[in-house]
Amino acid sequence: MSDTTRILVLCTGNSARSQIAEALLARLGKGRVAAASAGSRPASRVNPHAVEVLAAHGIEWRGRSPRGIDDFAGERFDIVITVCDDARDACPYFPGAGAQVHWGLPDPAAETEPEAARRAFAATYDALEARIGRLLALPLETLAPEAIAERARAIHLESAGPAS
């Protein structure tokens, strides 16, 4: 693995969870990580609540557009993380993934009432921040892909609690 760990986060629409994860990886990775995100069926825009929750944490994310998985065809990533069950089903294996892991999280965009949506996006941000913080605490540059995948799965299971 090179000095920069390349991480791709996949979701269905690339409008909420994967966008938040990409933003957090870029911020918390501080040059250690090159982050990207994509969707199996990209939405027309990034969810405004995702932009809002990122802004509340000092991350400017306006002007971003959802991207499709095909935009990254042929590229190599050290880690590929799916954050929704539909993306895992649509892309059970991403060619070019060193380590592939699933961190299934509820879709905050499923909430239609504005205040409930804000709470759901805040919870998604917190869940991803905790997982990503723990992932980035690992010596990613020196771990084998299998070890990264194993530890990333453990991070998700420990973060999700006994119900997962």
CA dihedral 123, 126, 128, 133 (to 10 degrees): -170
pLDDT, one tens digit per residue, over 38-74 is 998 999 999 999 999 999 999 999 999 999 999 998 8
Comparing 70-79, 86-95, 135-144, the range with the smallest average pLDDT is: 86-95
Q: What is the mean pLDDT of residues 21-33?
A: 95
pLDDT of 101 higher than 50: yes
What is the pLDDT at residue 37? 96
Give residue 161's pLDDT band: very low, low, confident or very high (50, 70, 90). Answer: low
Catalytic residue among 84, 97, 140, 149: 84
Q: Percentage of the chain surpassing pLDDT 90? A: 82
CATH fold of the domain at 5-154: Rossmann fold (3.40.50)
Give residue 126's pLDDT band: very low, low, confident or very high (50, 70, 90). Answer: very high
Instruction: Name, in order, each residue with C-beta under 8 angstroms of 1's C-beta and a sequence gap of 6 or more.
Output: 78, 98, 140, 141, 142, 143
91 is catalytic: yes
25 is catalytic: no
Q: How far apart are CA 146 and CA 150, in angstroms?
A: 6
CA atoms within 13 A on the CB side of 92: 1
Structure tokens at 154: 């453990």
98 is catalytic: no
- Whether the CB-CB separation of 33 and 7 falls below 8 Å is answered with yes
Catalytic residue among 16, 50, 81, 91: 91
What is the pLDDT at residue 14? 94
Q: How far apart are CA 105 and CA 130, in angstroms?
A: 13
What is the pLDDT at residue 163? 46
